[in-house]
Chain A
Amino acid sequence: MAALAAVTLLSVAACATDEPAASPSGSASAATGSGTGDQSKFFVQADYDAELALLDAAPTGPADKPWEQVLNPTMVDTAKFKKNGPHKICFSNAALNNPWRQVGFKTMQAEVEAQKSRIKEFVHVDAEGKDQKQIADINDLLGKGCDALIVSPNTTATLTPAVEAACKAGLPVVVFDRGVNTKCPVTFINPIGGYGFGHVGAEFVSQKMKPGGKVLALRILPGVDVLETRWSAAKVAFDKAKVDVVGVEFTDGDPAKTKKIVDDYIQRYGTIDGVWMDAGATAVAAVEAFQDAGKPVPPMNGEDQLDFLKIWKDKNLTAIAPTYPTYQWRTPILAVLQILDGKQVSSPWKLPQPTVTQDNLDKYLDPSMPPLHYAMCGCTDLPGYPQRWK
């Protein structure tokens, strides 16, 4: 009897884990039925499974400092990089072209200031979103006597050779945010990632909305890996929950376009029962579209940008905010200092990726900060807070 139960349990578990695997390849009818279309070609089942497992993993490190925490650490030796300080640290930055990167970079600058006894010089070069400029930037920095190099790559494949060249120059290299296709950096720092983000939002929306209701999915643009992973995880969740995804639209991250699209869908279907978004910058525009049309705002997800958290609280929305935390900009500074001390660091360095929920909303919502600030900056203990971020 017990054996039978065990077998049944096992097969149920197997079904549960197999289901996402089946949907991208086999069950075309199920996919079209729920309106989510074909699975993204960026979808990698193993990565998806790994990220979803990390969502439940317990991090090591101080609980009140998530930027120092690591999920499933694997330590690497860094004794060969040990060097006496104070150090000159160089940073090749992909871009500063959105509020997320602005908040992140300010946080990084504040961390540098907090460590000023150990950092004599911090050199920052902004590649302005151009691969070619960043390749040249990295090359230039190699001739500037940096003790360590931090890289936030603009694109993965194109920047790989430049990062490899930097590794060959012998200085410790730390990559964060977007990755590169090489293991040569000492460590790669990033949060759990896009599958986790997309999954959290989609699962919440499909659980909170009325069964079989209509979902509108809003994406920024196609073909970018970090955004494709978010959508592909959401697609798996929506297919599984058998909700009716009536539209998957691209907003270009433009609030005006978002508001028009949402308004169009409200006009076309009379009502929308759930909204999923792959990034939060336009979440407020989506909320306003419902308000201005005189409709209740359905369950939805946003991100940890304060304008959304504020409207969530003020209007008592049914919402959730998965995050891609800006506190990850603190970690590279801490990592290079540890490496230059010859202390072990984890590689890869997976940071926890907290979610803002109804229960912890008040903790993250600081109405005195500007609307485009990101709550998950982990910056309240840093020098110059809050003025630096205003």
Chain B
Amino acid sequence: MQTVQPRSLPLRLPRVRPGGVLPILAILAVLVVLVGIRQPDFLAPPSLMSFLGRSAPIILLAAGQYFVIVSGEFDLSVGSLVTAQVVVAARLIDSDPARTWPVVLLLLAFGALVGLVNGLVTTRLRVPSFITTLGMFLILVGAVYLWSDGAPKGGLSEEFRRFGRRAFEDVPLLGRVPYALVVLVVLAVAAVLLMRSDFGRTLVAVGDNPRTAELSGVRVWRTRTFAFILSGLAAAVAAILLGGYSGVSFQAGNGLEFGAITAVVLGGVALGGGRGAVVGAMLGALTLELLFALMNFYGVSGALRSTVQGAIILLAVAVSATRSSSR
């Protein structure tokens, strides 16, 4: 057999470097082909648009998680933050359309505040982010439980729900474009621009080597805190879209933190920070959702999803560890 093949591969694809988006694009392309073979209708605009729309929350959460992970930290609180936001929104709106916009603003502020607290506790009190955000996770779960007596109250107005449920109708070529997808595209572009700005470069530098960054005049704690705030904001937007998609639920955010982390890792972002692109993280989330859709088309039990997710995390981290050690 041709054992020379692997050696010549890096030469032919000089751009494959740790943290690049090419591997995830390749995986995504394979999945698209597989889906196209099994269920060609799925790639037609109506179902594709609806798929992208309902995947928007997890893609946004992956982008939020990316900021934190690339700066060298973790955010485990996003899932419970989403749940808290949905439950809070339902109770405050209480089916009154007039309260929609004030509550949307409040949710964004609440998300930013939770991020700020996560960031300050991690950077100023020097609590490892794994513990900080796990603590925040438990605090939010408990607080929501206490505040709502264990069952959601109130209801979301149709005005609030339209962000996650409605669409621009009759768009040429595409047909029905969900609002959620538009929100996603706008925020994705913003995230890419942000990563190209000075802040983005600083964020990666902080994750790569905080000491060097500190010595070159970067205020590491401020940068990392800002990353947590971005993650909190992403969770707020995801909560608005998810609450809109499915309505009030006590499980709205269950397991989303792991979904987001899996997506980020799958997108080629190194745990521990310093490497990877925000586009990779978002593509990772899209790939994960597409993989689940494919499993569905092949009739694989939904119960296997978490197993698959766990296997992906382990595999992706192992692969990235081997790659970085051979750097």
Task: Write the residues of chain A forming the contact surface with B, with a CB cutoff of 8 angstroms.
Answer: 95-99, 101-102, 128, 249-250, 252-261, 263-264, 267-268, 270, 284-285, 288, 292-294, 307, 370-372
Please classify how large the interface on chain B is, using the bins under 10, 10 to 19, 20 to 34, 35 or more. 20 to 34
User: Given the interface contacts A256-B249, A257-B251, does A267 sit within 8 Å of B42 by beta carbon?
Assistant: yes
The total of Cβ contacts below 8 Å across the A-B interface reads: 81
State how many angstroms separate the Cβ of B86 from the closest Cβ of chain A.
9
A96 touches B155 (CB 8 A): no
Q: Which residues of B contact A (CB under 8 A)?
A: 39, 41-42, 46-47, 50, 54, 95, 145, 149-155, 165, 242, 245-249, 251-252, 254, 293, 296-297, 299, 302-303
Whether B54 contacts A260 by the Cβ 8 Å rule is yes
- Does A249 contact B302, Cβ atoms closer than 8 Å? yes
**14 interchain pairs (CB within 8 A)?**
A97-B150, A98-B150, A99-B151, A102-B151, A128-B150, A254-B254, A255-B247, A255-B248, A256-B252, A263-B54, A267-B39, A288-B165, A292-B50, A292-B165
Known: A95-B150, A268-B296. A255 touches B155 (CB 8 A): no
Main secondary structure of the interface of A (DSSP, over half): helix
- Complex CA–CA separation, A285 to B248 (angstroms): 10
Contacts of A288 in B (CB 8 A): 165, 246-247
Q: How far is the CA of A128 from the CA of B146 in the complex (A)?
A: 11
On chain A, the residues within 8 Å of B50 by CB distance are 263, 292-293
Interfacial chain A residues near B155, Cβ < 8 Å: 307, 370-372
Q: B149, A256: Cβ atoms under 8 Å? A: no
| Cross-interface CB contact of A255 among B54, B145, B150, B246, cutoff 8 Å | B246
Question: Which residues of chain B are within 8 angstroms of A95 by Cβ–Cβ distance?
Answer: 150
Q: How far is the CA of A284 from the CA of B156 in the complex (A)?
A: 13
Q: How far is the CB of B309 from chain A (nearest CB, A)?
A: 14
Contact A372 B39 (CB under 8 A): no
Alpha-carbon separation in the docked complex, A371 to B247 (Å): 11
A370 x B153 contact (CB < 8 A): yes
Contact A101 B251, CB 8 Å, known A256-B242, A268-B296, A288-B165: no
Q: Which of B54, B151, B165 has its CB near the most chain A CB atoms (within 10 A)?
A: B151
Which of chain A's residues have a CB closer than 8 A to the CB of B149? 96, 102
B39 / chain A contacts, CB cutoff of 8 Å? 267-268
List chain A residues, Cβ under 8 A from B145. Answer: 97
Minimum Cβ distance to chain A for residue B148 (Å): 9
B303 nearest CB neighbor, chain A only: A250
Q: How far is the CA of A254 from the CA of B305 in the complex (A)?
A: 16
